[in-house]
Structure 1
Amino acid sequence: MVNPGAFAEAERRVVDASRVQHSDATSIVAEGKVRLVRVDVPSYDSVDLTTAERIVCVGRGIGDEASIDIARGLADILGAEIAGSRPVVDSGWLPKVRQVGKSGQKVKPKLYLALGVSGAPEHLEGMSKSDLIIAVNTDPKAPIFNVAHFGATCDLFDLVANLSERLQAASGR
């Protein structure tokens, strides 16, 4: 994504349109002129994170796709949407529509719980205006702590298990 004004305006040139060759992408790949890296299938998960009041966001610290279910359980208890940082989305663990950051959605929920999110500048750009940011990361120097209102340097799995248990007990579930 390139933001307006990022580059100086290019010199305008007149191009002879008769020299433009139109080709079918399939034939270009078949001829070996380009290499297909991946095909991104659009997600039909139509969540709009920009309207969410509470978000539980997972980062690379979650470890693997299966572990996202642990965070999803806490999100369900909190009535929150699950979201991910770019590394999580790039790994295919969550769909692109759930990405927070410069190349994802810019959010401003009442509660933003970051689990295992280091806090790359591109991620912080998408969530730093949240009303309440709570960060959980094992690295005390993680940049996410620079914008967090509260932070815990601990194992996110221990914290999520304990917090989920206490919230369920308090709600009578």
Structure 2
Amino acid sequence: MAKRDRQERYKTSGAAADLVKVETLVPPQGRAQILALAAKLRDEHRRAKTPLIDVASIVAQVRAACRTQPRRYTQPSDIDTLVITSVNVPFPHPISAESLADAIRRDTVPAVWAGHLGRFLGEVPLVSILRFCDRHGIKAPALARFVRGHSAELALRRPELEEHLNVLVPAA
């Protein structure tokens, strides 16, 4: 934006929108007094123009507006949907949450789901993995057995998951 455009915007819609330009001829010794008076008048004008903000009324308005909105944003997220959505992204054949949990419970890696299981254990955040396992009744020993038994097959390298499982279920 050009300098002239900025100046024009300042005068029409900015802080100077309701000020007027005054030009006058004064003796040299009166210049400082005129500039000081102009600064004082601008300062008084700006202070008088800025009303105090009533925070309580703004908060009340926000609360009233929020009451009319559905509560869908405050409900806990569905861990199955979150996990399955991220696990299924790159694959043409989607896996269900129950199939994923069943494979871990049975300690098997069906060939068609190997990529899904690898992505689940290798890329999904640890907290989400643990929430998913809690929801489907997969206990720490079963998850540890699955991870330890199939890490090479699934090409898993997830130190924080291994450390977490080693604390819960020490390796024999």
Shorter-normalised TM range: under 0.3
Name the TM-score, length of structure 2 as normaliser. Answer: 0.24
